[in-house]
Amino acid sequence: MDFQVVVLAGGFSKSLVPLVSKDVPKALLPVANRPVLSYVLEHFEENNLKDFIVVVEGESAALLVGGWISNAYVDRLHVEVAAVPEDVGTAGALRAIDHHLTAKDILVVSGDLISDIPPGAVAAAHRRHDAAVTAMLCSTPISGPSESGSSGGKDKAKKPARHNIIGLDPTKQFLLHVASGAEVEKDIRVQKSILRAVGQMEIRADLMDAHMYAFKRTVLQEVLNKKENFLSLRRDVLPYLVRSQLRSEVSQNGVLAEENGNSKDVSDSKVMLSQLLTNASTQSFHELYALGPDASAMSPRKTHKCCVYIASKSNYCVRLNSIQAFSDINRDVIGDASHLSGYSFSPQNNIIHPTAELGSKTTVGPHCMLGEGSQMGDKCSVKKSVIGRHCRIGSNVKVVNSVIMDHVTIGDGCSIQGSVVCSNVQLQERVVLKDCQVGAGYVVSAGSEHKGESLAKKEKQ
């Protein structure tokens, strides 16, 4: 058995309210009218990985995700959907499905990752170094307010957010330090033994942990079992393995025996892994440290390797983990990253479904999408926006830099800028929305104006 793929799909993420609802968990949020989870599954499918465990938080979310997968991928993929309790964290989710993990190595990926980076490259780096863990790092995405074309106020320049502080060895193959969350703002504290062993360390603030990891199964299971208080892979498990790599507390069952099978085990991937694997690294600082100062192997020190795969800056790699990211990704996938969409664009660089209807003098600009069965009245304008399926849009409506989900009704004379309008919403005549989110099923009254608001029904407890 080769790598086992585990997709952590989350549940009803609180950070994405009101976009998520009791009927739409995070995994089913639409990106260019496709559930975000489809991008992960189909990207792995393109790389000849077709067996998955999809972990969903909460029974009701798992039923919704499982139902969608059954309909969308019947006879294409083998997917086991596992429900785990809500709010257990990424480490807790893996702990809850421990009995499902049987392969030598486990590839863990977040279900909200939109990327064109081949997972086989991460797998190859992991096997090449016989690592305990290999983390995929990518350039920090530049995120910010969407272009609304408003004349008032100063232009807000988009800047990369600082997600992680990363320490790398001179070869940029091994992870020496990682800090995330609140730890990013604290002083950098690195094990002296690591610095002595490696000689020098490169500190990077322009790289992001992309939430794709390759783990040696025995190491992962041992850490999760011993450290029951660990809830997060990014904040707990990975930093622990990095800190302890030269004083390893984890058993590495049959390391030398496993090394011999490297290229054979990963040859299935679409990427030319055999070529990558032939570029095996020279002896790492781990082996040198294990021998000790006198280079004696009589009683070697116990170490394990924490590796990285750093994606090219030309790759696309963004997680849908905030409302801003939802808007950014939808814009990107019908814009500069349209190769990820899976759609064929028209000569006008947009997608208008053959069953959609446009009124007189209505324009749909480049980098736009109009879904199946949707109808637009006369003199409407759509710019850099996604409109879902079976929407009913009146006349003289302007939609700019927005996402309109399925079955939305929009009255005459409405203006929507930089906003997300969820399914089954009704906007009555002359509504103005700017930088708003409107939750599923909400009715916005005629003539009302809203700026920077979140409008949603109160969920029944």
Cα dihedral 417, 419, 422, 427 in deg (nearest 10): -40
Q: Rounded CA gap, 244 and 238, in Å?
A: 10
197-208 burial code (b ≥16 CB/10 A, e <16): bbeebeebeebb
Q: What is the pLDDT of residues 128-163, one digit of tens each?
A: 999 999 999 998 876 544 333 333 333 344 555 556
Mean pLDDT over residues 382-389, rounded?
Answer: 98
What's the mean pLDDT in 69-91? Answer: 95
Reported as a single tens digit per residue, the pLDDT across 7-63 is 999 999 999 999 999 999 999 999 999 999 999 999 999 999 999 999 999 999 999
Q: CB–CB of 452/183 below 8 Å?
A: no
Give the mean pLDDT of 271-281: 39
Cα–Cα distance between 81 and 53 in angstroms, integer? 6
Residue 379 has pLDDT above 60, yes or no: yes
Predicted confidence at residue 391, as pLDDT, reads: 98
DSSP line for 163-188: -EEEEE-TTS-BEEEEEEGGGGGSPP
Q: Residue 248: which pLDDT band, with cuts at 50, 70 and 90? A: confident
H or E stretch at 46: helix 36-46
Lookup result for tokens 């939109």: 114
Instruction: Quote the pTM value.
Output: 0.85
Owner of token pair 């409109």 = 387
Q: Alpha-carbon distance 443 to 461, whole Å? A: 21
Of 231-240, 295-304, 370-379, the least confident = 295-304
pLDDT given for residue 265 in this prediction: 39
Name the percent of the chain lying above pLDDT 90. Answer: 72
Whether the predicted pLDDT of 263 surpasses 50? no
pLDDT band at 261 (very low <50, low <70, confident <90, very high): very low
Specify the pLDDT at position 249.
73
3-state secondary structure of 281: coil
pLDDT band at 185 (very low <50, low <70, confident <90, very high): low
In which band, very low, low, confident or very high, does the pLDDT at 272 lie, cut at 50, 70 and 90? very low
Cα gap 404→383, rounded to integer Å: 12
pLDDT band, very low/low/confident/very high, at 253 (cuts 50, 70, 90): low
pLDDT at 404: 98
Residues in the chain, total:
461
So what's the pLDDT on residue 259? 34
- Residue 365: helix, strand or coil by DSSP? coil
Residue 158 identity:
K
**pLDDT, tens digit (0-9, with 9 covering 90-100), for 405-448:** 999 999 999 999 999 999 999 999 999 999 999 999 999 999 99
Average pLDDT taken over every residue of the chain: 86
More confident residue, 383 or 288: 383
The 10 Å CB-count burial string (b at 16+, else e) for 392-425 is: ebbbbbbbbbbbbbbbbebbbbbbbbbbbbbbbb
The span from the CA of 230 to the CA of 222, in Å, is 12
For position 154, what pLDDT does the model report? 35
Terminal-residue alpha carbon distance, the chain: 45
Contact present, 336 and 45 (Cβ < 8 Å): no
| Residue of 417, 416, 375, 420 lying closest to 394 (CA atoms) | 375
